Amino acid sequence: MRRAIPERERWLALAILLAVLALGYLLLVHPWWTVPMRELGARIDTLQQRDLRARMALSQAPELRERTEAFREQVARLPGFLPERSPELATAALVQRLETAVAEASPGNRSCAIINRSPLNDVRAQRFPRVVVQARVRCGSPELAAVLHALESGSPRLFVDNLNILSQAHYMAAEQAGQGVGLDVSFDLYGYLQPPPGRADAR
């Protein structure tokens, strides 16, 4: 019985020592060493993954450049898109197309003339950027048909929308006098810009 007591005390002392060591680890080693090392390891893994993605992107850069150039060449051959790179340049091109169509239908603006043309901000979300010019002309019937045909049948492709035609008495008198200016016409003339390469690839 005398030997059992010291042996039990030794086991108890050993258990207390293990408990103290565990408590010391939790209070001193774990928060000041283990946790920072785990965070450092996670950061290293993150940096390695970023480095891998960067290397893969760099390795694919020549292929992406080739695809971009091929896309631009393909779009340049399409008659449906305006060749200009910005809405401002595209707007100027639309106005030039309108002036050319009117001049060809009525040289010297004797029987067809542009009264007003102004850019219109198109805020609608669309797949391709759209450039719009609001136009108002005074033309005779044959000249108007020629202008609309020239605008919609040329290249790059343009579209006419919101067409509004009015015929008034003093315009009709002018037409009867041989001037041919019998219609007051307003419409929206629009075309589409070339889509960005990234958006086209997303299709």
Tell whether 57 and 109 lie within a shared domain. Answer: no
Q: Roughly what angle, to the nearest 10 degrees, separates helices 141-153 and 87-105?
A: 140
| End position of a domain, from candidates 53, 77, 101 | 77
Q: Using an 8 Å Cβ cutoff, are 96 and 114 in contact?
A: no
Give 15-71 pLDDT, tens digit per residue.
Answer: 777 777 777 666 666 666 666 667 777 788 888 888 788 777 777 777 777 777 776
Q: Do 17 and 88 lie in a common domain?
A: no
Residue 161 bridge partners (DSSP) = 188
Residues 123 and 33 in one domain: no
Instruction: Round to the nearest angstrom and report the end-to-end CA distance of the chain.
Output: 88
C-beta neighbour count of 139 within 10 angstroms: 28
Whether 202 is in a domain gets the answer no
Residue 203 lies in a domain: no
In angstroms, the CA 102 to CA 109 distance is: 7
The tally of domains found in the chain comes to 2
Res 88 pLDDT > 70: yes
Does residue 99 fall inside a structural domain? yes
State the alpha helices, DSSP H only, in 25-127: 35-76, 87-105
* 162 within domain boundaries: yes
Residue 34 domain boundaries: 1-77
Kindly state whether residue 154 falls inside one of the protein's structural domains: yes
Please answer whether residues 186 and 136 qualify as being in contact, where contact means their C-beta atoms are separated by less than 8 angstroms.
yes
Residue 64 sits in the same domain as residue 96: no
| Residue 111, both tokens | 């029987």
Dump pLDDT digits (tens) for 150-202. 999 888 889 999 999 998 555 455 445 444 457 999 999 999 987 765 554 44
Instruction: Give the tens place of pLDDT for each residue, 48-59.
Output: 888 788 777 777
Are residues 156 and 75 in contact, defined by beta-carbon separation less than 8 angstroms? Answer: no
Residue 69: both structure tokens together: 């150039």
Using the structure block, give the residue that is written with the tokens 């049948």. 153
Same domain, residue pair 106 and 186: yes
* C-beta of residue 159 within 8 angstroms of C-beta of residue 189: yes
